[in-house]
């Protein structure tokens, strides 16, 4: 019987010690122009260590987290429409107030800052979450700023201006451009392995030979008569 009483007394003392060292955290949401009231915030929860311990935000913006044991925690707000800063909470084993410090999410908890935030904890909405981007209206200027559209416009202008430019050229320059274009097309065909390029090159060579003038022979009838006359004079 005494053993049972002793065990129950020890259990009571242990439970009392755990209750004594547990802390109740208090804070509130500070409304601003971005989030003016609870109606804009809707349902939100305050979490310690991503939900290890949590508490709900009331309509007046207050929140409380019960039975927080001593330790170091990261406090965050779970809200669908708004984002809040994370804060670091250090709960000492004594009866002193918790220490609140700014915290950058992702940094190690071992690094501490000497700058303390006020207690009770004050949380302010920083920006509103946007899950959908607004549909952009038709922008004619933005369409012409596209590189592909600029290339198409320049190509169209060149196609329209090319006949006028060709008319302004003198015949010699025009023939030179045509010959250069023909040579370039033949070289491209040969590089691509097209036999038509070789045949075009051969036909161009034959045309060049045919166009060169052939020296005519000077041996005509008058020349023969002069030779015969010369021979007769010698015989006389």
Domain residue spans of the chain:
20-128, 140-208
Q: Hey, how many other C-beta atoms are within 10 angstroms of the C-beta on 78?
A: 14
- pLDDT of 229 strictly over 80: no
Q: Which of 16-30, 107-121, 147-161, 213-227 has the lowest mean pLDDT?
A: 213-227
pLDDT at 105: 79
Confidence of residue 195 (pLDDT cuts 50, 70, 90): low
pLDDT at 11: 59
Higher pLDDT, 161 or 14: 161
Residue 117 CA from chain centroid, whole number: 38
- pLDDT of 97 strictly over 70: yes
- pLDDT of 64 strictly over 80: yes
Return the closest-CA partner of residue 99 out of 84, 78, 121, 125: 121
- pLDDT of 226 strictly over 80: no
CA dihedral 216, 217, 218, 224 (to 10 degrees): -150
User: 197: which 2 tokens?
Assistant: 């390029």
Task: Give me the sign of the Cα torsion angle 178, 182, 183, 187.
Answer: positive
pLDDT, tens digit (0-9, with 9 covering 90-100), for 7-30: 565 555 555 444 456 788 899 999
Confidence of residue 192 (pLDDT cuts 50, 70, 90): low
List C-alpha distances in Å: 114 to 92, 99, 102, 103, 148. Answer: 16, 11, 10, 12, 56
In this prediction, residues 72-82 reach a mean pLDDT of: 91
- pLDDT of 54 strictly over 70: yes
pLDDT at 5: 58
Residue whose pair of structure tokens reads 């097309």 in the numeric block: 185
Return the closest-CA partner of residue 34 out of 98, 117, 124, 114: 124
Q: What are phi and psi of 108, to 5 degrees?
A: -70, 150
- pLDDT of 36 strictly over 70: yes
> How far apart, in whole angstroms, are the C-alpha atoms of residue 124 and residue 204?
84
Fold type of domain 20-128: Immunoglobulin-like (2.60.40)
pLDDT at 62: 92
**3-state class (DSSP) for residue 184:** helix
């Amino acid at each position: 019987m005494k053993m049972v009483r002793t065990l129950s007394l020890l259990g009571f003392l242990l439970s009392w010690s755990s209750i004594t060292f547990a802390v109740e955290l208090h804070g509130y949401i500070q409304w601003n122009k971005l989030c003016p009231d609870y109606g804009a915030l809707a349902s939100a929860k305050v979490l310690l260590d991503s939900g290890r311990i949590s508490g709900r935000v009331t309509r007046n913006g207050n929140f409380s987290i019960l039975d927080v044991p001593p330790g170091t925690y990261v406090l965050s707000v779970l809200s669908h429409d708004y984002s809040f800063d994370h804060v670091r909470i250090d709960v000492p084993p004594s009866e002193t107030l918790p220490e609140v410090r700014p915290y950058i999410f992702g940094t190690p908890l071992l690094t501490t800052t000497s700058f303390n935030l006020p207690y009770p904890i004050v949380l302010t909405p920083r920006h509103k979450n946007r899950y959908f981007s607004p549909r952009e209206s038709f922008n004619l200027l933005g369409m012409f700023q596209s590189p592909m559209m600029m290339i198409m416009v320049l190509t169209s202008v060149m196609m329209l201006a090319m006949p006028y430019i060709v008319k302004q050229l003198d015949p010699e320059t025009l023939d030179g451009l045509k010959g250069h274009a023909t040579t370039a097309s033949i070289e491209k065909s040969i590089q691509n392995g097209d036999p038509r390029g070789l045949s075009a090159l051969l036909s161009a060579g034959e045309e060049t030979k045919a166009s060169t003038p052939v020296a005519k022979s000077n041996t005509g009838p008058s020349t023969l008569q002069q030779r015969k006359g010369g021979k007769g004079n010698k015989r006389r």
